[in-house]
Structure 1
Amino acid sequence: MDHGHSPGDNDIAIIGMAGRFPGATDIGTFWRNISTGVESFTRFSDEDLTGAGVDPATFQQPNYVRSRPILDDIRGFDAGFFGYNPREATLADPQQRIFLECVWEALESAGYAAPQGRGSVGVFAGMNISGYLLTRLRAFEMGIDTSALMIGNDKDSLATNVSFRLDLNGPSVSVQTFCSTSLVAVHLASESLRRGECDMALAGGVSVRIPDRIGYLWEEGGQESPDGHVRTFDAEGRGSMFGDGAAVVTLKRLSDAVKDRDTVLAVIRASAINNDGAMKFSYLAPSIDGQRRCVSAALARAGVDPADVSYVEAHGTATEVGDPMEVAALTRAFGATERRQYCVLGSIKPNVGHLDRASGVTGLIKVVQSLRHELIPGTLHYRSPNPEIDFEASPFRVTAEPTPWPRTGDRPRIAGISSLGMGGTNAHAIITEAPQPAERPARPRRWQILPVSARSAAAAERSCARLAEHLESSADDLGDVAYTLQAGRKVFNHRKVVVADSTGRAAALLADPAGPLGRTDATVGRQVGFLIAGVGEQYPGMVAGLYAEDPGFRADIDECLAVLGLTEPGQLSDVFTPAERTSDGAGDLARLMGRACGQAPRSMTEAHLVQPAVFVAEYALARRLMRWGLRPEVMIGYSLGEYVAACLAGVLSLPDALRLVAYRAKLITSQPEGAMLAVSANERRLTAVLGEEGSRDLDVAVRTGSQVVLAGPVAAVEAAAARLLEAKIGHRRLETTHAFHSRMLAPVAGELTTWIADNITLRPPSMPYLSNVTGAPATEELVTDPGYWARHMCETVEFGAGLDHVLGIPGLALAEIGPGQSLGALTRGHPACERGRWPLIVTTLPAAGDPQDAGAALATAVAKLWLTGVPVDWTALHDDGVGWAPGRVPLPSYPFEHQEYWLEIDESALGGGTPAFDESDPKSIAKAYPRLPDTRWIHAPLWRETTPRAPMPQEAARWLVYTDAGLADELAAPLLAHLAATGGEAVLIRPG
């Protein structure tokens, strides 16, 4: 064997598994059962057998075996989840329904239930003959569409139905080789992947016998067990137990799986299939040579020395002839060797029975779990070897006890698995343990977003509970868990999300019904806009946590610092440093910004320091969101916020924007100090209260739509505040040193215009944003005029008019870029903002005094936007440029909400091919047809003739419209047209 074997395109990774097994509805329970020696057979009572239609004279015979491995709830199905209407679900064979749910779970297990990023997916699968249809052949006499019956029951439709329901566009092939079906499907899927016909493939099988709760009459020489137990390789083994089950695996080229950081559960090194041909006793008989050739071919293709195979999962039917022949074939395939009994031989069938079309992949799942848990389960009921098997002269041994299967240095553990089909189609695969994941650096960001969604509120709650239980004992990286939920799960209407910095915290939030944020919303692809704040709400340490923990945010800040000629963020402002630290770089900044200030700053609240710092923080924050796929449909800035919008839209390059903000700040601080006052009143009310004299020295600096901001000399603002207090009008003094957007800045307007014309390149906007000056969209003509930016400094900020435009975009979500929620509050208070839009407005940073971590706040903002249907580029969100890349890990699957769908036939109501009923009695006619859920009956002629002006019938899922014998179908045409228009299903039935 080549111990240096490296992953290549011929190696196929198993990245997902799912199944329904006797005694187990999932892989975890299945493994617990088989690893602890549980026999999952059900013994039937007289009532069970009578209810299944077995004649008491039959099951009371001494050779009647009244047990079988069966599944729970074969009548239940989540029809709506897969787009079935009740009629389709009722007509479909339970095998089709169960397999479809297993396929979905296998995709979720692999982390690829969402279509994005998975490429072309093939389906290779087979099912047993439809006992459901065979026991309901009289359904053809009941007016049911034949094509609907066949689609839901024919073997040929199994794979293609999966592809249709789940929109999978790779090869879709139904495989039928009796008992070897599902392992043959694995072989064909693997070959399809190697040929590049698909990027992923699903392979499996299903077998459910209808009726299921019945036993059988044992006959000497038959394939079935005489005592209701399967004793593979044992001296008392005399037959198998045919059971029900479904099993599916998700496959991918190993090289692709490693590159994409999928969880590789095990590796298929090679597989082979063949047929015995005619050189055997009968069609049903096995062939030692045929099996030998198949095993030998698989070993050769894998490049594996049989001496390195430490476990083989045998077909193991427990028949007196089949077991010795299988061991003989394996022994010959392994070849002459001096080593004896070094390879453990086992079979899953004593635990769950012979699952027919699902047996091969069921055995494969056992092998994968044995590799992952480093344990080979014991072979149940094995006491002494079948005397026809010479184990002592073979490489094989069988043990009834679990056998440890530890890793041994650099030698990979290798297993084989056989599946043998009636008619001679054999399959064998060589399976090795998964390669160890490549090391990666530590995850840079603590806070992770864990989204969960479902089609109903109850299912969403159960999904959260399942995930919480999983995380309580999980060793998975929380970033991998988050990415799997983000990129690997389909988004449904009932949405919940938690933001956490540890697995334990995430589990606690998910387990608490009040822990997750939640929203019910069918929107997908909602657009987002940015509300970009100005100065006034900043505080020490505002983005310190983000700068320390988010490499992407830090990179944008550092880029700005480099443009400014600074090396540390503390040289710019203490908003970038932890709150307990103080900046000692103010003098550096003063010298930087023109070196013309002539004096050291007196306070970190001075405008010439604050404005560049706020610009840099908000620019980096907006860039971070845009890199995560949150590209704004429109932006509106508040004062300085328009500079951020203009830079993001390309009107100003980043260097030009930084230089302009710094120069503007220098000019503003060169003017006399002023004050600003926010007032909760309209201008007419202000004029009435303040009078002409009181407002003569004041300007309206900002109009928000719900309040105004006055600006002017300090004395004038204080006098106005006193009058407003007397008039009991709400107002608030803003923390600012100057009267922004007022005539007090007019003396430097010309200087700013000239400086811009000489030093700044202005370009047309590449993204839409609103002008503060006009309240309308910024145009090329407007923003490329240097004088515009002087007007912006001195004139009123028409923020309310801008919000009129923003709120006129239906369904737009809004992210507030900056600290706190001042702009969000202004937007909610705007007359055009309906209360229903309030949840669409989210904050991205905590306000001053809010103890929330900045990283948590930003993650929560993204989570809230996701709740509303704003698409997020999750891959970009995890791409921090430091080498850590997320992977996909197995997580609990969707909690399907089952309803019973079962076609019942009242044989007494059928005779001579004609339904027997009273034409005027709906209850009578209903007895002649399937008892389908959500169905209502209506008698067309009676409705037409006796109630011509009566209201039309109310909506229903299905209408069965019957008319009298001999009457034309046209009598029912108007009624049928109306019923079809209600969205229901209308079917016309004629007696005779």
Structure 2
Amino acid sequence: MGDIAVVGIDCAFPGAAGVRAYWDLLMGGRAGTGPVPGQRWDARDFPAVGDSGGFLDDADVFDSDFFSITPREAAAMDPHQRLLLPCAWRALEDSGRAPGGLAGSGTGVFVGVMGGEWGRLTMSDLAQVTPLLGSGSSAGMAANRISYHFDFTGPSLAVDTACSSSLVAVHLAANSLLSGECDTALAGGVNVVLSPSLGLVYGQLGLAAADGRCKPFSAEADGIGRSDGVGLVVLRRLDDALADGDRIYAVLRGSAVNQDGRSNGMIAPNRWSQERVLNAAYRRAGVDPAEVAFVEAHGTGTVLGDAIECAALGSVHGVPRERPCALGSVKGNLGHTEGAAGIAGFIKTALALHHRIVPASLFAERENSRLRLAERGLRLLKSPSRLPRGENIAGVSSFGMGGTNAHAVLATAPRAPRPVPARSRADAGAAGVFTVTADTAEALCRNLAAQADAVAARAPGGTAALCRTSNRVKTGLPHRFALTARDTGELVAGLRRAVERRTPAPGVPGAAGDRPWGRPVVAFLFTGQGSEYPEMTAALYRESPAFRRRLDEADAAVAAHLGASVRDALLGEAEYADAGEWTDRPELVQPALFAVECALAATLTALGVVPAAVLGHSLGEYAAAVTAGVLDLDEGARLVVRRARLTAALPPGGTMISATAGPEVLAPALAAEPDVVAAALNGPADTVLSGPSGALARIAGELASLGIRTKELSAPYAFHTPGMAPVAAGLRKEPVRCAPAALPVASTRYGRMLHEEPMDAAYWAGQTEEPVLFDAALGALVDAVAPTHLIEIGPQPQLSRIAARAGRLRGAELLHPVPGPEATGRELAETVAALYRCGLDPVWEELYAPGTGTDEALAPYVFSSAHRYWDRPPSAVAPEPVRSAPAPRAPEAAPHPVVSRETGDDAVLDAVVEAVTEVGGYPVERVVREARFHEDLGFDSVMIMQLKNRVEARLPRVGEVSVQQLLPALRSVGSLAEFLDGVIMARSA
């Protein structure tokens, strides 16, 4: 049998809600048993059953809104199904996967569930039978519910082999993985003690413990105590898990299932069958039983069952052994979780191998001497036992009352060596983006608080691996949060601030601004010359592997034509010992800016930030052309190097100034100085003048007398003037390999969007000596693509300030991943975080250094506990709406109030609302116009048919409407009402 990795776990057992709580319960040697809750039955009415057992505290809690299930359907669902859905979500998160990211995949679901008490309790009154009770009471739906709500298309089956159900489910899941039926599988089981009926059976058979507690292998053992429980594991083929760098709890080496056949009674255990299933499992696992360090036994605490199991274990594990095989049973802590018993032991064993310590077995102090454990090579653990280094092997047994036996062989997860890439010191403390999502604003606040508490409990240190895990796991839900942080202290503080901001005052609605309703539309603005400085982007280069890789590529392209490395110049390396030396060499400045901007744009694009359009200011238009696919990187580098050399050959004497006035105001001054031109029209009152230094000084003096501010720019030449003619002439002779633009380009040469015009030699020649029409080009870009965000691509902000002054933004947000000399990787991360909050789904892996680390354990999703669906005995569940009906997940926009029927203002809408509340069980005030039938109200095809019938009954004038006619109108409550109103009007005409 091939090896299977256990990569994710979630569970809830009596006294232990969650994996960590379960392990703490085991290591603390505590029991989760207690009195029978009054919610289940009155223990005084059934003295033969006893008044205690193992019960989940919140078996009635269910976040129906999260899973888009109506209150009526939630009330009709078997509690088994309600427990499994959130357990599956948390298990997948624990495996390092965003559950929504597996939608449409062939993930398999295998669930052990015993009996069908809910069906017997709810379907016995035939007058109360409904379609929802039909699906809600079927044990077979336990797995199907998960597959349906998570949109899994792999094998999906419920298994009932009585007490061995969940371990048989694990066995079937492993075989499905090995056969290639699925690549990921959820496997486990669930049990809720709904009535005393099976307890009565145990009592009549003499198998019920007087105190409701299992005492496995103890001299005090007197029978079974029943218990609730739910547990699921996420399984993958070991090779796949290792290849993807999954965190692995343990490895399933092999498993086997068999049957007692005709033995000494239908429900009596059979030693020889147990021996055979043990040997078959070890044979499939390639393991000698003498290698097994411990066995998690079935161990119910019945006299006959314990005796037969120990005889079988002793025969297989036998003597001589150097050390006895440790023996235990989690039923001493929990009771007998029946359909979930196997998964309870499986999870305990996986955690023991993961933590390399086996918890003590409760009731081991008074060992049953008649079991002859020592002479059979077995021992009960009276205290936790450390496992030695290296691989350890363990077995898990689970035996069904009808004779179906299962045994699984688990081993320690391999400690595969990981290659450690060369990383700079800056990588270790690099900024990451921590993400959290939720289905509502309130849920987001709740989960932020949970993450803050969990991170605060961690050891301080870098957060890159933690953030990377959150990006993989905590995404996919509509309400988003993202925070940039370098260490856990900063992260905790940021999370707590976010909780405070989102916590409403009493009576004040909470914030609803965390849900994007679309994806951001991004445009790149490429900065021109004058934005350079000695070590521009050097800190980003040292900290960001993604940018480092792209700048290296751009530098190689430039160096092929320049014969020198602009990257080394930026970093002050090699011949550029003084990092500022290169800025005095014109032939380096332009190629350096080009390389930096191409690298920035490529880094953002690789992160998933794909621009809807690009615009380049002067020199920046070359990098814009590369990003738009007009020029390839090599051709762009060649042209820029040629332009730089031609520029460096110009005679000195020219410069540039900016003036806070438009060309019409500046016209008299320009007329007096014919050598000065308007080189850039950046805004209505934002003009750059270019020409000889003396002439510009005279103009500046004249403009100052008129109250017009001017500022000298750090430009060594009079760019975009007739004085650039030699450069233009040289470029005009260059053959240019250009292609049609793959992205819309706003041309600052033409002041409009490019259409069919090529960016050929003539274009670049004219672009050099003609004015930059930035304001007009930006206006054209905004008109063409309506960007939500403008990202400046350059070493410091220039264009974003100009654009803000020009009033061209139309609400667009300005972002800059390198906003000046102090910029590091943090600003790049914050840019991605800002876009994520607005609806972008980044390629997160690009943000982190290779080998950042394996997935870190994060706090599981915290579901709402506001709604309970078991506030009366199950047999009394009726089809009317439950008392605690939750609100649908309607849009956060202010809802249109539903007009009450008494006013008569909108009888059609009233009829629709009444029908929706009747079918779904929602309170009338919560069914708003905007509520969508599938996403917000959880309606399915059966409920749509019920809705159709009720609407037709309430609105006789509508007549009969086919489902096909209704379907286009089923976008929302309001759209259905509008459609029906139109039908009535048409038939009345």
TM-score, with structure 2 as normaliser: 0.84
What secondary structure, in the 3-state scheme, does the structure 2 residue paired with 1:770 have? strand
Aligned twin of 1:391: 373
Q: Give the C-alpha shift of residue 516 in structure 1.
A: 11
Name the amino acid aligned to 1:330.
L
Aligned twin of 2:112: 126
2:529 is the alignment partner of 1:535: yes
Q: Give the C-alpha shift of residue 390 in structure 1.
A: 1.7
Contact 1:340–1:395 under 8 Å retained in 2:
no
Deviations 1:443-500 (A, max 9, x none): 7333323222222334334434433444442599844333322233432232222333
Aligned twin of 2:838: 868
Tell me the distance in 2 between the aligned counterparts of 1:213 and 1:636.
Answer: 75
Contact 1:260–1:887 under 8 Å retained in 2:
no
Deviates more, 1:463-472 or 1:181-190: 463-472
Contact 1:116–1:487 under 8 Å retained in 2:
no
The counterpart of 2:799, out of the listed 823, 826, 841, is 823
Q: Give the C-alpha shift of residue 583 in structure 1.
A: 3.9
Contact 2:631–2:737 under 8 Å retained in 1:
yes
Contact 1:704–1:800 under 8 Å retained in 2:
yes
Aligned twin of 2:166: 182
Deviates more, 1:317-326 or 1:132-141: 132-141
2:335 is the alignment partner of 1:339: no
Q: Give the C-alpha shift of residue 341 in structure 1.
A: 6.3
Residues 652-691 of structure 1 aligned to structure 2 (within 5 Å)? 652-669=631-648, 670-687=650-667, 690=669
The counterpart of 1:37, out of the listed 14, 17, 29, is 29
Deviates more, 1:352-361 or 1:718-727: 718-727
Name the amino acid aligned to 1:17.
I
Aligned twin of 2:766: 791
Deviates more, 1:501-510 or 1:613-622: 501-510
Contact 2:464–2:852 under 8 Å retained in 1:
no
Q: Give the C-alpha shift of residue 283 in structure 1.
A: 1.5
The counterpart of 2:312, out of the listed 329, 354, 360, is 329
Tell me the distance in 2 between the aligned counterparts of 1:212 and 1:821.
Answer: 72
Deviations 1:884-931 (A, max 9, x none): 375334322111123324266799999xxxx9xxxxxxxxxx9x7654
Contact 1:675–1:734 under 8 Å retained in 2:
yes
Change beyond 3 A, Cα 1:261–1:516: farther
Q: Give the C-alpha shift of residue 945 in structure 1.
A: 11
Tell me the distance in 2 between the aligned counterparts of 1:499 and 1:929.
Answer: 45
Deviations 1:826-876 (A, max 9, x none): 3344444223x22xx32111314xx34x22222222222222222322344
Between Structure 1 and Structure 2, how many residues are aligned? Answer: 911
What secondary structure, in the 3-state scheme, does the structure 1 residue paired with 2:777 have? helix
2:885 is the alignment partner of 1:933: yes
Name the amino acid aligned to 1:792.
Q
Change beyond 3 A, Cα 1:214–1:801: farther
What secondary structure, in the 3-state scheme, does the structure 2 residue paired with 1:400 have? coil
Residues 88-99 of structure 1 aligned to structure 2 (within 5 Å)? 88-99=73-84
Aligned twin of 2:127: 141
Aligned twin of 1:845: 818
Tell me the distance in 2 between the aligned counterparts of 1:359 and 1:731.
Answer: 81
Aligned twin of 2:600: 621
Change beyond 3 A, Cα 1:903–1:249: closer
What secondary structure, in the 3-state scheme, does the structure 2 residue paired with 1:820 have? coil
Deviations 1:927-946 (A, max 9, x none): x765462699xxxxx99999
Tell me the distance in 1 between the aligned counterparts of 2:900 and 2:597.
Answer: 68
Deviations 1:110-150 (A, max 9, x none): 012245589531111132445444444477535x7x22222
Contact 1:110–1:890 under 8 Å retained in 2:
no
- Which structure 1 segments of 5+ residues have no match? 1-8, 587-603, 916-925, 937-941
What secondary structure, in the 3-state scheme, does the structure 2 residue paired with 1:80 have? coil
Name the amino acid aligned to 2:538.
A
The counterpart of 1:902, out of the listed 842, 855, 869, is 869
Tell me the distance in 2 between the aligned counterparts of 1:40 and 1:491.
Answer: 35
The counterpart of 2:722, out of the listed 716, 727, 743, is 743
Change beyond 3 A, Cα 1:713–1:213: farther
Aligned twin of 2:917: 959
Aligned twin of 1:369: 351
Change beyond 3 A, Cα 1:555–1:945: closer
Aligned twin of 1:413: 392
Q: Give the C-alpha shift of residue 317 in structure 1.
A: 0.4
Name the amino acid aligned to 1:647.
V
Q: Give the C-alpha shift of residue 251 in structure 1.
A: 0.3
Tell me the distance in 1 between the aligned counterparts of 2:204 and 2:73.
Answer: 42
Tell me the distance in 2 between the aligned counterparts of 1:465 and 1:906.
Answer: 34
Contact 2:519–2:838 under 8 Å retained in 1:
no
Tell me the distance in 2 between the aligned counterparts of 1:386 and 1:375.
Answer: 24
Tell me the distance in 1 between the aligned counterparts of 2:575 and 2:437.
Answer: 38
Deviates more, 1:177-186 or 1:326-335: 326-335
Q: Give the C-alpha shift of residue 968 in structure 1.
A: 12
Tell me the distance in 2 between the aligned counterparts of 1:488 and 1:36.
Answer: 30
Tell me the distance in 2 between the aligned counterparts of 1:871 and 1:825.
Answer: 27
What secondary structure, in the 3-state scheme, does the structure 1 residue paired with 2:859 have? coil
Tell me the distance in 2 between the aligned counterparts of 1:898 and 1:223.
Answer: 36
Cα-Cα RMSD: 3.9
Change beyond 3 A, Cα 1:108–1:637: same
Aligned twin of 1:358: 340
Aligned twin of 1:776: 752
Tell me the distance in 2 between the aligned counterparts of 1:798 and 1:212.
Answer: 83
- Which structure 2 segments of 5+ residues have no match? 503-511, 889-898, 925-945, 981-989
What secondary structure, in the 3-state scheme, does the structure 2 residue paired with 1:321 have? helix
Q: Give the C-alpha shift of residue 766 in structure 1.
A: 3.7
Contact 1:68–1:214 under 8 Å retained in 2:
no
Name the amino acid aligned to 1:305.
D
Name the amino acid aligned to 2:300.
T
What secondary structure, in the 3-state scheme, does the structure 1 residue paired with 2:816 have? strand
Tell me the distance in 2 between the aligned counterparts of 1:579 and 1:830.
Answer: 42
Aligned twin of 1:764: 740
The counterpart of 1:892, out of the listed 833, 855, 859, is 859
Name the amino acid aligned to 1:843.
H
2:271 is the alignment partner of 1:291: no
2:451 is the alignment partner of 1:493: no
Deviations 1:73-104 (A, max 9, x none): 22222222222233322222221111110111
2:466 is the alignment partner of 1:481: yes
Tell me the distance in 1 between the aligned counterparts of 2:759 and 2:576.
Answer: 41
What secondary structure, in the 3-state scheme, does the structure 2 residue paired with 1:797 have? coil
Residues 171-250 of structure 1 aligned to structure 2 (within 5 Å)? 171-210=155-194, 219=203, 221-250=205-234
Residues 668-747 of structure 1 aligned to structure 2 (within 5 Å)? 668-669=647-648, 670-687=650-667, 690=669, 692-693=671-672, 697-704=676-683, 707-746=686-725
Contact 1:52–1:213 under 8 Å retained in 2:
no
Tell me the distance in 1 between the aligned counterparts of 2:803 and 2:815.
Answer: 11
Deviations 1:338-368 (A, max 9, x none): 2386100000011111111111111111111
Tell me the distance in 1 between the aligned counterparts of 2:974 and 2:232.
Answer: 35
Contact 1:842–1:865 under 8 Å retained in 2:
no
TM-score, with structure 1 as normaliser: 0.84
Aligned twin of 1:592: none
Name the amino acid aligned to 2:91.
A
Name the amino acid aligned to 1:959.
T
Deviates more, 1:742-751 or 1:289-298: 742-751
The counterpart of 2:578, out of the listed 576, 582, 586, is 582
Name the amino acid aligned to 1:101.
P
Q: Give the C-alpha shift of residue 559 in structure 1.
A: 1.3
Q: Give the C-alpha shift of residue 570 in structure 1.
A: 6.4
Change beyond 3 A, Cα 1:893–1:945: closer
Change beyond 3 A, Cα 1:473–1:443: farther
Change beyond 3 A, Cα 1:129–1:577: farther
Deviations 1:400-454 (A, max 9, x none): 32222232xx4x1100000111111110000000000322214733332322222
Tell me the distance in 2 between the aligned counterparts of 1:314 and 1:651.
Answer: 69
Tell me the distance in 1 between the aligned counterparts of 2:527 and 2:900.
Answer: 66
Tell me the distance in 1 between the aligned counterparts of 2:624 and 2:763.
Answer: 15
Aligned twin of 2:94: 109
